[in-house]
């Protein structure tokens, strides 16, 4: 059967998303399988969250109802902002899609960093918009060059800070310079999926620009809270923007279970501290191990490390896979997600064996 002629314009050439990269041959069965390729938080969700969800299961015959507003309120309280600036989504990915759908017309231009989070590379052409890719500078989004790339056709600029897959962040000066200079006809996404892992007290979020600028800040529960499978993210934006994102909520409203989980997760301060500590320790350990080789290793403010090995990255990835460790390749680079201590150790030991 062929339905291509029935498709909306631009869809035939659209490319879908392959989560976690290309599947690799399975590792030997006697070795624990260590999945460090998708920036999942291997600590697993808080026990309190799991218990609350088990309890909530009995209510799954009901639509989310007022659970949505309660959770929206909890997120708003967390940021000390009114609920009118908050939109909830089934993962921040659903909000990324909604933003593209709301704002893009054919011939619009979308400025993204290269490399950056894959969603931003895949979505613009579904709407006939043109992608303008700006190489990263010192592995972070080059916000000055992104500003220079803006013209009268530019509709969206997508800044991922800290950036995925590179792990680097922009400076506060760069953030302020960007918002001091961005023209008024542009909507800026600042995707802060990894903000909770930044171990720099002075790091500034773009939330401060929400009242004065056309910016949408994105956050996710897939990282710090280890709830990637549940699918929950949210946006913070001025009411002028948020009201339009609201129109899409019937498409992506988070389900009743996730809404409950989110409120409990926000309250579980012990888990949050453990989650951050596990990531910081694992990141330092893996960073030090990688630096012992003749690799280019990028300092990370996230839950993964991006590095360029001194040999064929695909061969190294295959060799690691044979030792039960799965990474994600990006051209000449590999990206390893931080896992639990024993998983990080498995990776470091496997690398040591391979490197000889
Ligand atoms: C920068 C960035 N934004 C958004 C997402 C998607 O997050 P979610 O699971 O909330 O859809 C990811 C996932 O890895 C990401 O790296």
pLDDT tens per residue, range 144-184: 999 999 999 999 999 999 999 999 999 999 999 999 999 99
* Confidence at residue 26, expressed as pLDDT on a 0 to 100 scale: 65
pLDDT digits (tens, 9 = 90+) for 292-313: 999 999 999 999 999 999 999 9
Closest CA to 302 of 287, 317, 283, 316: 283
Categorize the per-residue pLDDT at 72 as very low, low, confident or very high, splitting at 50, 70 and 90.
very high
Is the pLDDT at 19 greater than 80, yes or no?
Answer: no
Whether ligand 1 lies within 6 angstroms of the CB of 225 is answered as no
Cα separation, 179 vs 188, whole angstroms: 9
Residue minimizing CA distance to atom 12 of ligand 1: 193
Q: Can you give the pLDDT at residue 315?
A: 95
Average pLDDT over residues 100-123: 96
Q: How far is CA 271 from the centre of its chain?
A: 20
- What average pLDDT does range 316-325 have in this prediction? 93
Torsion of CA 220, 223, 227, 233, to 10 degrees: 0
Atom of ligand 1 nearest to the CA of 93: 11
Place of tokens 């064996």: 353
Give me the chain's average pLDDT, please: 94
**Ligand 1 pocket residue status of 222, Cβ below 6 Å:** yes
The SS3 call for residue 229 is coil
Average pLDDT of the residues in 309-338 = 95
With the most atoms of ligand 1 within 8 angstroms of its CB, the residue from 193, 235, 338 to mutate is: 193
Q: Is the CB of 193 under 6 A from ligand 1?
A: yes
Q: Is the shortest distance between the CB of 164 and ligand 1 below 6 Å?
A: yes
Reported as a single tens digit per residue, the pLDDT across 43-69 is: 999 999 999 999 999 999 999 989 999
In 184-291, DSSP assigns E strands to: 187-191, 215-220, 233-237
Bridge partners (DSSP) of residue 306 are 335
- Is the pLDDT score of 249 beyond 70? no
Would you say the CB of residue 228 lies under 6 angstroms from ligand 1?
yes
**51: its two tokens:** 């218990």
∠ CA 117-105-96, rounded to 5°: 30
In a mutational test of the pocket of ligand 1, which residue from 17, 88, 93, 121 has the highest number of ligand atoms less than 8 Å from its CB?
93
Residue 321's H or E segment, with its range, is helix 313-322
pLDDT above 90 (res 21): no
Report whether pLDDT(23) > 60.
no
Tell me: cis bond preceding 7? Omega within 30 of 0 counts: no
Instruction: Specify which residues 154 forms β-bridges with.
Output: 109
pTM: 0.96
SS3 string of 113-176? EECCCHHHHHHHHHHCCEEEEEECECCECCHHHHHHCCCCCEEEEEEECCCCCCCCCCCHHHHH
Q: Is 39 in the pocket of ligand 1 (CB under 6 A)?
A: yes
Pocket test for ligand 1, best of 36, 38, 91, 92 (most atoms within 8 A of CB): 92
Q: Supply φ then ψ for residue 291, to 5 degrees.
A: -70, -10
Rounded average pLDDT over 265-269: 98
> What's the rounded Cα separation, in Å, for the pair 275 and 266?
13
Mean pLDDT of 300-327: 96
Nearest CA to ligand 1 atom 14: 39
User: Residue 140 pLDDT > 90, yes or no?
Assistant: yes
Report CA(92)–ligand 1 centroid distance (Å): 6
- Say if residues 144 and 189 touch (Cβ distance below 8 Å): no
Which positions ≥6 away from 315 have C-beta within 8 Å? none
| Phi, psi dihedral angles at 47 (to 5 degrees) | -60, -35
| Residue 191 Cβ contacting ligand 1 at under 6 Å | yes
Q: How confident is the model at residue 124 (pLDDT cuts 50, 70, 90)?
A: very high
Ligand 1 touching residue 117 (CB < 6 A): yes
List the end-to-end C-alpha distance of the chain, in Å, as a whole number. 53
Say whether pLDDT at 252 is over 70.
Answer: no
d(CA 253, CA 90): 6
Query: Is any ligand 1 atom within 6 A of the Cβ of residue 167?
Result: no
Q: Is the pLDDT of residue 22 over 70?
A: no
| pLDDT tens-place string over residues 171-217 | 999 999 999 999 999 999 999 999 999 999 999 999 999 999 999 99
Q: Residue whose CA is closest, atom 7 of ligand 1?
A: 92
Task: Quickly state the pLDDT bin for 25 (edges 50, 70, 90).
Answer: low
What pLDDT does 254 receive? 92
Cα 292 to ligand 1 centre (Å): 30
3-state secondary structure of 347: helix
* Domains assigned to the chain: 20-45+270-355 (3.90.1150.10), 47-267 (3.40.640.10)
Percentage, residues of the chain above pLDDT 90:
89
Give the model's confidence band at 10: pLDDT under 50 very low, under 70 low, under 90 confident, else very high: confident
Task: Return the residue whose CA atom lies nearest to atom 8 of ligand 1.
Answer: 91
Say yes or no: CB of residue 91 within 6 Å of ligand 1.
yes
pLDDT at 317 over 60: yes
171, two tokens = 């400076």
Q: Residue 117: its pLDDT value, please?
A: 97
């Amino acid at each position: 059967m062929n339905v291509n002629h029935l498709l909306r314009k631009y869809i035939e050439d659209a490319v879908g998303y392959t989560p976690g990269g290309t599947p690799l041959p399975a590792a030997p069965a006697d070795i624990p399988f260590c999945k460090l390729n998708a920036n999942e938080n291997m600590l697993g969700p808080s026990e309190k969250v799991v218990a609350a969800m088990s309890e909530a299961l009995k209510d799954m015959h009901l639509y989310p109802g007022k659970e949505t507003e309660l959770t929206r309120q909890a997120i708003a309280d967390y940021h000390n902002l009114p609920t009118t600036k908050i939109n909830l989504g089934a993962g921040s990915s659903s909000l990324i899609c909604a933003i593209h759908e709301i704002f893009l017309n054919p011939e619009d231009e979308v400025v993204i960093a290269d490399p950056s989070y894959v969603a931003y590379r895949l979505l613009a052409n579904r709407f006939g918009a043109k992608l303008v890719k700006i190489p990263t500078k010192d592995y972070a989004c080059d916000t000055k060059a992104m500003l220079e790339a803006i013209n009268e056709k530019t509709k969206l600029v997508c800044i991922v800070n800290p950036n995925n897959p590179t792990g680097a962040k922009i400076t506060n000066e760069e953030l302020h310079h960007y918002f001091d200079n961005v023209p008024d006809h542009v909507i800026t996404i600042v995707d802060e999926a990894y903000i909770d892992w930044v171990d720099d007290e002075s790091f500034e979020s773009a939330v401060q620009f929400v009242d004065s600028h056309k910016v949408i800040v994105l956050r996710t529960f897939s990282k710090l809270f280890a709830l990637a499978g549940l699918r929950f993210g949210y946006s913070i934006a001025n009411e002028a923007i948020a009201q339009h994102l609201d129109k899409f909520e019937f498409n992506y409203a988070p389900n009743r279970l996730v809404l409950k989980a989110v409120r409990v997760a926000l309250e579980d301060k012990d888990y949050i501290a453990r989650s951050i500590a596990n990531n910081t320790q694992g990141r330092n350990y893996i960073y030090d191990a990688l630096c012992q080789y003749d690799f280019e290793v990028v300092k990370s403010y996230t839950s993964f490390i991006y590095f360029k090995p001194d040999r064929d990255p695909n061969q190294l990835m295959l060799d690691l896979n044979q030792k039960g460790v799965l990474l994600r390749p990006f051209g000449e680079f590999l990206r390893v997600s931080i896992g639990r201590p024993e998983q990080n150790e498995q990776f470091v030991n496997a690398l040591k064996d391979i490197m000889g």
